[in-house]
Amino acid sequence: MPTPSMEDYLERIYMLIEEKGYARGSDIAEALEVHPSSVTKMVQKLDKLDYLVYEKYRGLILTPKGKKIGKRLVYRHELLEDFLNIIGVDEQYIYEDVEGIEHHLSWDAIDRIGDVVQYFQEDEERIKHLREIHRKNEEEEKSSSK
């Protein structure tokens, strides 16, 4: 399995290719807020591990293995964003929270979170009920801290 850093690269490369049709080193560096030299080193590692094919000055393409992992990593990220949104995490925190937890969960945990997300998405009333619980708990917190 790729390291968390490799996962970040594969996820971003996959997303760039899906959005633009290609992923340049400069785009990857900008998206991940790293130096282009770091991108070159990581892309070379990913090439050696058969996640992508990198040709200097020509760009890169994901191998079937890289595409599969990239797609799964994007799914994981989006699923965790959906989950945090459903449970009422403030929108301003969701991206950073996902970045903080996504590499620390097993794929079994991700699959179970997927079940929970599906459960709530299948019936909007469940989400409304959860939000009502959230609102009541916040009111109780405010009144008890006075």
Asked if residue 8 belongs to a known ligand binding site, the reply is yes
Asked if residue 35 belongs to a known ligand binding site, the reply is no
**108 phi/psi in degrees, rounded to 5:** -65, -45
Asked if residue 104 belongs to a known ligand binding site, the reply is no
The first and second tokens of residue 28, run together, are 């990857």
Asked if residue 77 belongs to a known ligand binding site, the reply is yes
Asked if residue 102 belongs to a known ligand binding site, the reply is yes
Q: 74 exposed, middle or buried (CB, 10 Å; 0-12, 13-18, 19+)?
A: middle
Asked if residue 11 belongs to a known ligand binding site, the reply is yes
Which residues make up each annotated binding site for Mn(2+)?
Answer: 8, 11, 77, 99, 102-103
Residues annotated in the binding site, as ranges?
8, 11, 77, 99, 102-103
